[in-house]
Amino acid sequence: MEKSFSFEDIMQLPSRYRANLINMVSGVKPANLIGTKSKTGHTNLAVFNSVVHIGANPPYLGFILRPTTVERHTYENIKETGVYTINQITTAIHKKAHQTSAKYDREVSEFDAVGLTEHYQNDFHAPFVAESPIKIGLSFQEEQLISCNDTRLVIGKIEHLILPETAILEDGDVALEKLDTAAVAGLYNYYKPKHLGKYGYQKP
């Protein structure tokens, strides 16, 4: 038996249930930690499941930010300093990474609170996560306010890309299965993705 929800049915669901249902149905997502540091030197780390490829030439990544109706430390630090890092979550650190979603005070560093290590490289102001195999330093490029629900698409330019040489294949692909990559669906469920195959450029 299938269950079918109309838009009206969805809007009438209890909010937590609706959030879970709608967050899950678009499938498994990348799991990343965004690292920032305020001008006054307070570091911040938060888990995001919405990091998305915007383009490779030049290299841009985006993520979706929830409405700024409450304090959004990651966003504030990005706007204040212009830089941030995106760090891939592994199965080894996924529980610590998840804990960064708690609402810590501005003065509290989630690095210390959850036990992850700040790592600095290339004179970049924003902290990388030492435990992450793929570390990306970005500069804020632009943001698009999505007017239908007041979320924002925040786009950054890749300034630094740091990853193990052994995981980079001859054609530039990255063997994620060698990096203990974790994935996330919705807000509460983590996965270990399995590589199913690699298929060439398709012609009709």
Ligand X SMILES: Cc1cc2nc3c(=O)[nH]c(=O)nc-3n(C[C@H](O)[C@H](O)[C@H](O)COP(=O)(O)O)c2cc1C
**Which residues sit at the interface with ligand X, rule CB under 6 A?**
44, 46-50, 63-66, 71-74, 98, 101, 103, 184, 187
Measure the CA–CA gap between 191 and 34, rounded to whole angstroms: 19
Q: ∠ CA(56), CA(24), CA(188), 5° rounding? A: 95
- Which residues lie across from 172 on neighbouring strands? none
Judging by beta carbons within 10 Å of its beta carbon (0-12, 13-18, 19+), is residue 202 exposed, middle or buried? exposed
* Per-residue tokens: 53: 């490829």
- Closest contact distance (angstroms) between CB of 63 and ligand X is 6
Kindly state the smallest distance separating residue 71's Cβ from ligand X, in Å: 6
Closest distance to ligand X from the beta carbon of 11 (Å): 21
Nearer to ligand X, 146 or 169 (CB): 146
Nearer to ligand X, 145 or 187 (CB): 187
Nearer to ligand X, 9 or 71 (CB): 71
Pick between residue 20 and residue 175 the one whose CB is nearest to ligand X. Answer: 20
Strand partners, 118: 129
> How many other C-beta atoms can be found within 10 angstroms of the C-beta atom of residue 79?
13
Distance, CA of 116 to CA of 130 (rounded, Å): 7
Q: Which is nearer to ligand X, 103 or 198 (CB)?
A: 103
Give me the least distance between CB of 87 and ligand X, in Å please: 13
Smallest gap from residue 6 Cβ to ligand X (A)? 26
143 or 175: whose CB is closer to ligand X? 143
User: To the nearest whole angstrom, how small is the minimum distance from the Cβ of residue 23 to ligand X?
Assistant: 8
Chain length of the chain = 204
Tokens standing for 29? 């997502």
Q: Where are the beta strands (DSSP E) in 77-179?
A: 83-88, 118-119, 128-129, 135-146, 151-162
